[in-house]
Amino acid sequence: MTTKLFGEPVRRREDARLITGKGRYLDDLGAGALAAAFVRSPHAHARVTDVDVEAALDVEGLVAIYTYEDLTGPMAEPMPVLIPHPQLHAPRTGYALANGVVHHVGEPVVMVVATDRYVAEDAADRIAVSYEELPVVVGVDAAREARATVHDDVPDNVAARHHQETGDVEPALAAAPHTLSFTQYIERSACMPLEGKGVHARWDADDGSLRVHSSTQASTSVRAAIAAKLELSLDRVEVIAPDVGGGFGVKIVHPWPEELLVPMAAIRLGREVKWAEDRREHFISSAHERQQRQEITVGFDDDGRITALDVHVWHDNGAYTPYGIIVPIITATQLVGPYAIPVYRVVVESVYTNTVIVTPYRGAGRPQGCYAMERTMDRIADALGLDRAEVRRRNLITPDQFPYDHRLTFQDGRPVIYDSGDYPGLLDKLVALVGWDEAGALRADAQARGKLLGIGMALYVEGTGPGPYEGGHVQVLGSGKVLVSTGLTSQGQGHETVFAQIVASELGVPIDDVEVHTGDTRRFGYAVGTFASRAAVMSGNAVALAARGVREKALRIAADVLEADPADLEIDEGQVQVKGTPGASIPLRTVAVLSNPLRYAFDQAAQQATQFVTHDDSKPPVAPGDAPGLEHRDYYSPIRSTFASGAHAAVVEIDPRTWEIDVVRYAVVHDCGNVVNPMIVEGQVQGGVAQGVGGALYERMAYDGDGQLQNASFMDFLMPYASEVPDIAIDHQETPSPLNPLGIKGAGEAGVIPGTAAIASAIEDAVGRRITSMPISPTELYDLMRDETAERTAGSQQVPLQTGVPA
Amino acid sequence: MKPAPFRYADPRSLEEALDVLTAEHGAKVLAGGQSLIPLLAMRLAAPATLVDINRVPGLDTVETTGDGVRVGALVRHDGLLRDSPDATAAARVQPLLARATANVAHPAIRNRGTTVGSIAHADPSGEMTAVLALTGGSVTVATPEGRSTVGWQDLFVGPLETSLAGPAVVVDAFFPALPARSGTAFAEISRRKGDYAVCGAGVVVTLDEDRRVAAVRASYLSVGLVPEVHDLTEAVAGKPVDGADWAAAGALARTLVDPDGDIHASADYRRLLVGVLTERTLAEAAAEALERTAA
């Protein structure tokens, strides 16, 4: 059937709009709106002693200035702790505008509203804020040492102590034939969407209603937050996510101070107000992720099989914990990856630092967990002189072990039970795809060209599609157009395309008849948001269920008209027809017309449903229990997350004179269950790998000891260009999820997860020195290579050149 | 990231431009804007007036003679790279210019940014400042009092700082021709393609009539506060060109430079790269010198 589009590489319908400049992003809205700008703290930790706005008052075009003193009611209280957790024993959040003490550079102190952004910045420049500087804590080690504190009443800087264990780890380690203990680090990076955050608010004083557009990943929850904080009835607030230029996690955090302050100003001033974040603001006042110190002890037998694993992570959560301990929990629970670990204990201490908050960035704790586990595998292989792929193979969960219960509790509060997968299958495909067994020949070839070559791999399992739920609404209009709505938001992933594919396939209509709307609380008020690789799993299944409801109703109505049994009907290309009986059919659009009994008609089609045309006097026009219209709303709520998986391998070449690192080959084997659109999945993998390469080799947040971010621009924060991202070979495996009707697993974040681990492994293989801190740059590799005390791997004798490093 | 208020002038002649620069204290000249505009947007610079010289006639030519290449103030970087008679003539007389220009940022920036603008910006990480120094070049400066020539040694005072004061427009830069029996090469290492170099090197090797090394000079990017030219001749002087120990010249270079460290590279790493890039570029330049000697 032509309408079965599920699984096809349908071209993204949003691209024509987005790539020809016809997208409608936040800053495209409200051309006449007033503009907001913020005075932000220049200090990482300081007491605000005075705010003097006098010099700003005569700036022509200034409309309003707000400080903490101007906030009232719930707005004057701390920002919400969005996701409370019993182990988050010392949660702290900031205020919409600083109240007394600022805890990181970039924290908003004063809001300025003016006729345009230029004037607002002019006025902001003239506002003099006095500070008394306080001791600064930067980096996870300084936080642990706690010689200074970020929050006075948290003397050890520990916000949370997250702890899970699956058995008695100490005796298991004592009984292990071999043990290894080591410490390693991973640095901060950030989401860096092309479009920063942004908010536009319009207050209708006559109607008493507020319309807010926000570049968010969670419009329904932003709506609830605004209503609560500004003391408005929920029904008076609408929140719409327009086209959003990337999210990658940072826009799931909400409400951002600006998401509350801009509507507040719009109400107080009775004017449209807009704020569009600039890049520097994004660097210093949004969110980062990934810094951890990981202390690992592993026990294993002579064959390299792990018998016990004990991990202690120190996780830098920045200045506040609005998003709870989601990232630490994900690191703790996803660390085990595709491996059967008999006894596992993990403690994550989440610590405060005077830096930007840490909240999920694509991967969300998984890249760190993968780095811990995969580097452990490399160490075991090195210690025993075994092939790294073989050590992994011996520890993998086997296909007959599903569902596999890790006896851990995941980020959604539900058990970590892997639903399906084939991890040995992934590994076999990866070994073939990257040419793992030919590494020796590649190394020799590189050596002949004066280069060092190394190969590394990393495997992961990713819990995707957590609940609690998403909903979908499908409605067929009398024109034949099919409207699909879901509450979660889009940031360019291709939701319009995949949801249309799913509905077209379920309903039997041409995809061009399907129109998809997301992230608009006017259309769909119940939703959770776009994060955790959940859109396809959650809303994909919800719109499928809604489409099935519409189909059922359509068949029932059509069966009446065609005098047939609904079970004998099918829908194809928008026609309801009796199977095997050509000509016995009715267009779905006519069914839609008939579904809504009419008194009035405005066109030819509608006349068919009016009261003097229809002639069944035996029952009311709308039967009890039925409803007018050909539409259905349904929800998908999973019992628990579904677990996608994959394996990456990287081949690097290193110039032993300049220590430049070049990723020359990158292979990905990917399993996200049934694939809705393979082109979109490959695009997600490509983008994820680009961010993985960035995190491994280029990106870091270069904070100095005073908490100043030294690289807060795209000149110095090195996101890889296309020229730095290798060509990627991709292979697929499909192990459908038994947990949801469509059998799909999430695909959004996967590509980024193993990059750091695989590339660290490859570099270590190339140079024969232990890599214990990532990312790594040429200057750092040079330092490592001339450090006489640097640990050499057991495999280092295969490194061909004894690299002459000039002093 | 919006500039502070500024007045904007778009003079139609050099005289008019100088009039505005004279009348408006602290006025800045805008040509390609690839450095100035970001500084304005970040409010790191806030001149009261911008004098946009893009409509001033006569500043957009590349003039090549046997003596060298004169590049007008409105010639874009790309003007020295694209397939045109002007660019070809310039590359024949002073090949280093195009070689270095190819390393300037990305195409979009090369289409707008100007050679002379990068020199006037005096960024020690820039390619053009190093090339002006290495070729022994100069700039022509127009002031209300008339025109004068300022040699590169007198021009660069510090990072992003030139000796030009008061109302002045740099109207062109002059790059002397590559001497006989000489070859050049240029290379840089950057974190990402097109980024500012972590370290870059331009070199000129000159041979004597017996094809022995007569002179070796080098200039580096991102290793000092101002562009400098280092004479490396002593490491390889008098050696036959195919037997010269370029590594010795690299080792000498490392002792002559005094780089700083930053978040992208330590001082030691930059010194390492000075050695490697010197060795690599000298070998390349020597091959060209040999070719040009044979020809």
pLDDT digits (tens, 9 = 90+) for A617-667: 888 889 888 999 999 999 999 999 999 999 999 999 999 999 999 999 999
Return the residue of B nearest to A116 by Cα: B2
The arithmetic mean of pLDDT across residues A33-52, rounded, is 98
A778 in contact with B, Cβ within 8 Å: yes
Report in angstroms the alpha-carbon separations of A542 from A488, A523, A536: 11, 15, 9
Report in angstroms the alpha-carbon separations of A477 from A303, A502, A519, A551, A587: 64, 18, 21, 13, 12
DSSP element (H, E) containing A475: strand A470-476
Return the residue of A nearest to B40 by Cα: A118
pLDDT over 60 at B273, yes or no: yes
Q: Which of B191, B251, B266 sits opposite A718 (nearest CB)?
A: B191
- How far B267 CA sits from the closest chain A CA (Å)? 9
Q: Please state, in angstroms and rounded to a whole number, the distance separating the CA atoms of residues A516 and A488.
A: 12
Residues of chain A neighbouring B275 (CB-CB closer than 8 A): 806
- How far A46 CA sits from the closest chain B CA (Å)? 24
The answer to whether the beta carbons of residues B205 and B189 sit under 8 Å apart is: no
Q: Which of B189, B194, B251 sits opposite A660 (nearest CB)?
A: B189
- Rg (alpha carbons) of chain B, rounded to whole number: 19
pLDDT over 80 at A4, yes or no: no
Return the residue of B nearest to A59 by Cα: B5
Cβ–Cβ gap B272/A782 under 8 Å: yes
Residue A526 banded pLDDT, cuts 50, 70, 90: very high
Which domains does chain B possess?
A: 7-55 (3.30.43.10), 62-176 (3.30.465.10), 182-294 (3.30.390.50)
What residues contact A364, with CB distance under 8 A and at least 6 apart?
Answer: A249, A289, A326, A327, A330, A531, A532, A749
pLDDT for residue A619: 85
Q: Which of A122, A658, A659 sits opposite B4 (nearest CB)?
A: A122
Residue A800 banded pLDDT, cuts 50, 70, 90: low
pLDDT over 90 at A611, yes or no: no
A496 Cα distance to chain centroid: 18
Residue A798 banded pLDDT, cuts 50, 70, 90: low
pLDDT digits (tens, 9 = 90+) for A301-340: 999 999 999 999 999 999 999 999 999 999 999 999 999 9
Structure tokens at B233: 């001749």
pLDDT over 70 at A672, yes or no: yes
Residue A72 banded pLDDT, cuts 50, 70, 90: very high
Residue A807 banded pLDDT, cuts 50, 70, 90: very low
pLDDT over 90 at A603, yes or no: no
A804 in contact with B, Cβ within 8 Å: no
Residues of chain A neighbouring B42 (CB-CB closer than 8 A): 280, 713
Q: Please state, in angstroms and rounded to a whole number, the distance separating the CA atoms of residues A493 and A515.
A: 16
Q: Please state, in angstroms and rounded to a whole number, the distance separating the CA atoms of residues A389 and A393.
A: 6
Specify the amino acid at residue A257.
P
pLDDT for residue A2: 46
Cβ–Cβ gap B269/A782 under 8 Å: yes
B6 Cα distance to chain centroid: 29
The answer to whether the beta carbons of residues A127 and A55 sit under 8 Å apart is: yes
Instruction: Return the closest-CA partner of residue B203 out of B124, B290, B289.
Output: B289
A704 in contact with B, Cβ within 8 Å: no
Specify the amino acid at residue A503.
V
A401 phi and psi, to 5 degrees?
-95, 0
Residues of chain A neighbouring B266 (CB-CB closer than 8 A): 779, 782-783
Residues of chain B neighbouring A660 (CB-CB closer than 8 A): 189
Q: Which of A125, A278, A721 sits opposite B1 (nearest CB)?
A: A278
Cβ–Cβ gap A724/B254 under 8 Å: no
Percent of chain B, pLDDT > 70? 100
DSSP element (H, E) containing A344: strand A344-351
pLDDT digits (tens, 9 = 90+) for A686-739: 999 999 999 999 999 999 999 999 999 999 999 999 999 999 999 999 999 999
- How far A657 CA sits from the closest chain B CA (Å)? 7
pLDDT for residue B295: 62
Coil, helix or strand at residue A209: strand
Residues of chain B neighbouring A721 (CB-CB closer than 8 A): 192-194
pLDDT over 80 at A475, yes or no: yes
pLDDT over 50 at A1, yes or no: no
The arithmetic mean of pLDDT across residues B239-248, rounded, is 92
Cβ–Cβ gap B263/A122 under 8 Å: no
- How far A718 CA sits from the closest chain B CA (Å)? 8
Picking from A60, A779, A803 by the largest number of B CB atoms within 10 A of its own CB, the best residue to mutate is: A779
- How far A700 CA sits from the closest chain B CA (Å)? 10
pLDDT for residue A779: 98
Q: Which of B193, B263, B265 sits opposite A716 (nearest CB)?
A: B263
Q: Which of B196, B265, B275 sits opposite A779 (nearest CB)?
A: B265
Q: Please state, in angstroms and rounded to a whole number, the distance separating the CA atoms of residues B199 and B190.
A: 7
With vertex at residue B119, the alpha carbon angle to CA B289 and CA B196, rounded to the nearest 5 degrees, is 80
The answer to whether the beta carbons of residues A596 and A608 sit under 8 Å apart is: no
Cβ–Cβ gap B192/A721 under 8 Å: yes
pLDDT over 60 at A804, yes or no: no
pLDDT for residue A198: 98
Alpha helix segments (H runs only) across A35-166: 117-126, 140-145
- How far A356 CA sits from the closest chain B CA (Å)? 19
Cβ–Cβ gap B194/A721 under 8 Å: yes
Which of A50-54, A532-536, B136-140 has the lowest average pLDDT? Answer: A532-536
Cβ–Cβ gap B276/A657 under 8 Å: yes
Per DSSP (E only), the strands in A30-141 are 34-40, 46-52, 62-66, 101-102, 108-114, 128-133
pLDDT digits (tens, 9 = 90+) for B155-176: 999 999 999 988 999 999 999 9
- How far B196 CA sits from the closest chain A CA (Å)? 9
A714 in contact with B, Cβ within 8 Å: no
pLDDT digits (tens, 9 = 90+) for A87-138: 999 999 999 999 999 999 999 999 999 999 999 999 999 999 999 999 999 9
A347 phi and psi, to 5 degrees?
-125, 125
| A586, A587, A589, A592 alpha-carbon torsion, rounded to 10° | 30
A118 in contact with B, Cβ within 8 Å: yes
The mean pLDDT value of chain B amounts to 96
What residues contact B174, with CB distance under 8 A and at least 6 apart?
Answer: B68, B69, B70, B71, B137, B138, B139, B140, B149
Q: Please state, in angstroms and rounded to a whole number, the distance separating the CA atoms of residues A296 and A180.
A: 8
Cβ–Cβ gap A122/B5 under 8 Å: yes
Which of A117-121, A368-372, B80-84, B183-187 has the lowest average pLDDT? Answer: B80-84
Residues of chain B neighbouring A724 (CB-CB closer than 8 A): 192-193
Which domains does chain A possess?
A: 32-134+197-244+251-285 (3.90.1170.50), 292-466+639-798 (3.30.365.10), 467-636 (3.30.365.10)
pLDDT over 80 at A385, yes or no: yes
- How far B4 CA sits from the closest chain A CA (Å)? 6
The mean pLDDT value of chain A amounts to 95
Structure tokens at A424: 């040995």
Residues of chain A neighbouring B276 (CB-CB closer than 8 A): 657-658
Give A451's DSSP letter.
-
The arithmetic mean of pLDDT across residues A451-464, rounded, is 97
What residues contact A593, with CB distance under 8 A and at least 6 apart?
Answer: A478, A605, A606, A608, A609
pLDDT for residue A616: 75
CB pairs under 8 A between A and B: 70
Cβ–Cβ gap B264/A121 under 8 Å: no
Return the residue of B nearest to A122 by Cα: B4
Percent of chain A, pLDDT > 90? 93
Cβ–Cβ gap B192/A658 under 8 Å: no
pLDDT over 90 at A802, yes or no: no
Cβ–Cβ gap B265/A660 under 8 Å: no
Residues of chain A neighbouring B43 (CB-CB closer than 8 A): 121, 125
Residues of chain B neighbouring A35 (CB-CB closer than 8 A): none
The arithmetic mean of pLDDT across residues A296-305, rounded, is 98
pLDDT for residue A609: 84
Cβ–Cβ gap A117/B2 under 8 Å: yes
